[in-house]
Amino acid sequence: MADCRVNSIEQVRLLMGKLLVTGASGFLGWNLCRAAQGPWDVYGFARRNQNQLQGVKLRRTDLTRFKEIKENLQEIRPDALIHAAAESSANFCQLNPAASHGINVEATANLASLCADLRIPFVFISSDLVFNGLKPPYSENDPVCPVCIYGEQKAEAERAVMERYPQAMVCRMALMFGDAGQGAASFIQPLIDDMRNGRQINLFVDEYRTPLSAANAAQGILLGLSKAKGILHIGGLERISRFDFGKLLRDIVGAPSARLYACSRQSIEMAAPRPADVSLSITRAMALGFKPGSLRGELESLACTKIEKLRPGG
């Protein structure tokens, strides 16, 4: 009988095969590439940024160019694809609906069709902003009801993915924070910088999320890739307002003189309307084995590594 034991990383890679991550130069994509390396042979698509991890085979590609994508997929022949590329700023999408539709909806639909043709697992990264924030917590069965163009585009893309490839998976992500590599950004680093430099920080008391680290989120997405199809919610364990998140972060990074200012969403003008509370229920992900860390624990472990480098002179 053949000896089926796996005794090297290369053998594990051969078993899992090639994983292609779009948006590999972005915040979540970079974390996905980092988490997948080892078991997977990781390929990434990036548009402009040079945010590359050692060992990841990065290709510069504009996902709105269908022919280019098709040729790249034919060359790489991935065994699975996670589509994390997007125009991810809700304000930009609100002001530029046509420009953002190409990458957020059309490119997503095209990738779903290509992966259906190749018969490979396909994960589309969506968002908690497909909900209007009035009836939290949201489970996978709740109907979508976006209040901004970005949320509408995500909801339209989700429908297109499921129509074109019913075996695909849609991961709806909560707000994420964490390390972002060299060219991408998470909202947390500028927040810490403002805290340490005594700048006034306006934080909403009436906007709730279920945040988690992108490193933890990446583990959840990879778990979903191997075990699920359909819709999967991935978020943190705790529902928290932006203001309370700021207070927790201030305590963890040790910036007692940070100038946090409690305000309401209505008091600050922004291009895109913001839902009040898009807390996600993550019961399904946890049943699959997803283990979110505590918010304090995740922020503390981040503080031990990257955040320390943001100290003045650090």
Ligand X SMILES: NC(=O)c1ccc[n+]([C@@H]2O[C@H](COP(=O)([O-])OP(=O)(O)OC[C@H]3O[C@@H](n4cnc5c(N)ncnc54)[C@H](OP(=O)(O)O)[C@@H]3O)[C@@H](O)[C@H]2O)c1
Note the residues at the interface with ligand X (CB under 6 A): 23, 25-29, 45-49, 61-64, 84-88, 103, 125, 127, 173, 175-176, 184
**Minimum CB distance to ligand X, residue 245 (Å):** 12
Helix (H), strand (E), coil (C) string for the chain: CCCCCCCCHHHHHHHHCEEEEECCCCHHHHHHHHHHECCEEEEEEECCCCCCCCCCEEEECCCCCHHHHHHHHHHHCCCEEEECCCCCCHHHHHHCHHHHHHHHHHHHHHHHHHHHHHCCCEEEEEEHHHCCCCCCCECCCCCCCCCCHHHHHHHHHHHHHHHHCCCCEEEEECCEECCCCCCCCCCHHHHHHHHHCCCEEEEECCCEECCEEHHHHHHHHHHHHHHCCEEEEECCCCCEEHHHHHHHHHHHHCCCCCEEEEECHHHCCCCCCCCCECCECCHHHHHHCCCCCCHHHHHHHHHHHHHHHCCCCC
Q: Which residue number, 13 or 231, has a Cβ lying nearer to ligand X?
A: 231
**Minimum CB distance to ligand X, residue 17 (Å):** 22
**Minimum CB distance to ligand X, residue 68 (Å):** 10
Q: Which residue number, 82 or 307, has a Cβ lying nearer to ligand X?
A: 82
Q: Which residue number, 23 or 224, has a Cβ lying nearer to ligand X?
A: 23
**Minimum CB distance to ligand X, residue 124 (Å):** 8
**Minimum CB distance to ligand X, residue 23 (Å):** 3
Q: Which residue number, 13 or 170, has a Cβ lying nearer to ligand X?
A: 170
Contact criterion met (CB below 8 Å) for 82 and 221: yes
Q: How far apart are the first and last CA of the chain?
A: 57
Q: Which residue number, 103 or 252, has a Cβ lying nearer to ligand X?
A: 103
Contact criterion met (CB below 8 Å) for 112 and 165: yes
**Minimum CB distance to ligand X, residue 100 (Å):** 9
The Cα 140–Cα 162 span in angstroms is: 14
**Minimum CB distance to ligand X, residue 169 (Å):** 14
Q: Which residue is nearest to ligand X (CB)?
A: 26
**Minimum CB distance to ligand X, residue 11 (Å):** 31
Contact criterion met (CB below 8 Å) for 13 and 41: yes
Q: β-strand 57-60 against 80-83: which pairing, if any?
A: unpaired
Q: Which residue number, 13 or 151, has a Cβ lying nearer to ligand X?
A: 151
Q: Which residue number, 13 or 292, has a Cβ lying nearer to ligand X?
A: 292
Q: Which residue number, 101 or 284, has a Cβ lying nearer to ligand X?
A: 101
